[in-house]
């Protein structure tokens, strides 16, 4: 073979698969990119808004294969924010407008469904928060009531009902949230599950609620809705789930009908920056808070409550590769710290079928289209986590694209974190 032909063949063999179609269950995406279910905080009154539509439409127009509307609660008790979606019949027409707009731009539409468990407060969810076990949640802060056995079947059924509503609203896929210390994760983790009945103790028992949820989800999804599940590879702290147990959870989810797994990690109430990496800008976080006592409490203790975890690109990749070795039957979706075309290609070349991005597409909704044109494309996210700090009170927004001017003390904090990062 002539050298020139050999080099050409070698180049073709190494061609990126980023912009090739791929399937999850019955759904085929135009490329390998998915907008992750990063909470938008764009749903005042727990209903979709024009702002939510415009944002997801911009991401779809920006070339993404599928965009995921974030963290819709399956019941009112599952709400952790007052600007969060709550799946119910009356919001379906509004959601249909969102999915229609996404589809018109050529992308698929997914919705993340979950229940926050103990991560709520009575003024938001309308009752004493419920979880795998009773206790006190410092995150809210509030007392929490452990769920009774007779409540669990109805709660699992609520996931199935939410899937049916999502199909009615025009979504192509659902992503069941089983990670980050929310309700399913609270049952799975030995840190939060101290139950003495058949839902606690052994891992088999701790997976029981998850299995019941998945039974309802798969029945509701039928053959025309793709099912993804976001799960933890590690909880991110001593006493939580580790990879050995999480691998068993992943294998069980495949048996339960998951058609793709989104591999994440961290506990919002215990190790929040393990999920997102970097530092939390405490001054920014408290600046937007309305409660004076919470504002001052977080100012004083925030750095202890939310310790920094250093950011690096593709920070979950090492753990995710262990799952790739053991999980062969369904696509795996890599998420965590992707900001460049080079690293995305590396992840896909490592055997992952899809990649998810959150902050990168908040910073630049058209990033996927730009990657088509530039092999060295890199978004301009600088990892200050301003968007996360703001999201808890207002909408999720990148500080580089605000209409308003940042107060000097916040600008200084952000610049310092960006320099350190």
Active site (catalytic) residues? 182
Return d(Cα 232, Cα 267) in angstroms, integer: 9
Indicate if the alpha-carbon torsion angle 75, 139, 48, 383 is positive or negative: negative
Helices within 78-148 (DSSP H only): 92-104, 122-125
β-pairing, 130-131 vs 108-114, is: unpaired
β-bridge partners, 77:
none
What are the DSSP calls for 222-246, one per residue?
TTSSEEEEEEES--SSTTS--HHHH
Q: What is the DSSP letter of 270?
A: T
**Which residues, in sequence order, are CB contacts of 181 under 8 Å at separation 6+?**
117, 119, 189, 192, 235, 266, 267, 268, 269, 270
Q: Give, in order, the Cα–Cα distances in Å from 324 to each of 33, 40, 415.
A: 18, 30, 37
Q: How many residues can be counted in the chain?
A: 421
- The owner of tokens 């495949």 is 254
């Amino acid at each position: 073979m002539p050298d020139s032909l050999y080099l050409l063949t070698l180049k073709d063999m190494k061609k990126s698969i980023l912009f090739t179609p791929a399937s999850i269950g019955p759904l085929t995406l135009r490329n390998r990119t998915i907008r992750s279910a990063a909470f938008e905080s764009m749903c005042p009154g727990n209903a979709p808004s024009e702002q939510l539509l415009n944002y997801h439409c911009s991401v779809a127009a920006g070339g993404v294969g599928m965009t995921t509307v974030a963290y819709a609660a399956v019941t009112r008790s599952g709400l952790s924010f007052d600007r969060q979606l709550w799946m119910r019949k009356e919001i379906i027409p509004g959601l249909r407008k969102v999915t229609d707009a996404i589809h018109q731009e050529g992308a698929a539409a997914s919705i993340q469904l979950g229940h926050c468990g103990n991560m709520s407060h009575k003024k938001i969810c309308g009752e004493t928060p419920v979880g795998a076990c009773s206790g006190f949640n410092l995150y809210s802060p509030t007392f929490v009531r452990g769920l009774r056995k007779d409540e669990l079947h109805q709660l699992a059924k609520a996931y199935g009902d939410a899937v049916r509503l999502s199909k009615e609203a025009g979504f192509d896929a659902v992503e069941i949230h089983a990670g980050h210390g929310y309700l399913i994760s609270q049952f799975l983790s030995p840190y939060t599950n101290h139950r003495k009945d058949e839902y606690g103790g052994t891992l088999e028992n701790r997976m029981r609620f998850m299995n019941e949820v998945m039974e309802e989800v798969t029945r509701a999804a039928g053959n025309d809705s793709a099912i993804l599940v976001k799960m933890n590879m590690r909880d991110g702290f001593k006493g939580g789930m580790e990879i050995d147990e999480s691998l068993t959870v992943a294998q069980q989810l495949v048996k339960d009908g998951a058609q793709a797994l989104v591999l994440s990690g961290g506990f919002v109430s215990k190790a929040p920056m393990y999920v997102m990496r970097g530092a939390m800008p405490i001054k920014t976080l408290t600046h937007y808070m309305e409660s004076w006592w919470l504002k001052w409490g977080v100012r004083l203790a925030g750095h202890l409550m939310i310790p920094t975890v250093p950011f690096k690109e593709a920070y979950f990749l090492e753990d995710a590769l262990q799952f790739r070795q053991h999980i062969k039957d369904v696509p795996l979706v890599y998420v965590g710290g992707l900001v460049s075309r080079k690293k995305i290609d590396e992840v896909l070349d490592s055997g992952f079928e899809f990649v998810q991005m959150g902050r990168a597409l908040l910073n630049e909704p058209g990033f996927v289209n730009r990657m088509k044109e530039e092999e060295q494309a890199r978004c301009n996210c600088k990892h200050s986590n301003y968007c996360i700090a703001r999201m808890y009170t207002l909408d999720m927004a990148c500080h580089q694209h605000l209409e308003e001017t940042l107060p000097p003390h916040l600008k200084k904090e952000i610049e310092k974190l960006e320099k350190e990062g």
